[in-house]
Amino acid sequence: MSPILAHILLFVALSAAIVVMGTFYSEPDDAVAFRAMPRRFGVFLVSCAVVAVVMLLAEHFFAAV
């Protein structure tokens, strides 16, 4: 497995933990929390991907040597 793929998979795993705990914190009801998790997980991953793309673009245009 390539290192970049491994790191992405590990990031996804850690993201899942963050989303689960974040949802538990904000939603006391278990049933509601579990229903909300998939959408929250998707939003979290897409948001992180957007941040990563912005950082890569910034590096490419402003910081690359």
Contacts with another protein by CB under 8 A lie at 7, 10, 14, 17-18, 20-22, 24-25, 28-30, 32-33
Buried b (16+ CB within 10 A) or exposed e, 39-54: ebbeebeeeeeeeeee
In the chain, count of helices (H) and strands (E)? 2, 0
Residue 10 or 53 having the CB closest to another protein: 10
Residue 5 or 29 having the CB closest to another protein: 29
Residue 17 or 65 having the CB closest to another protein: 17
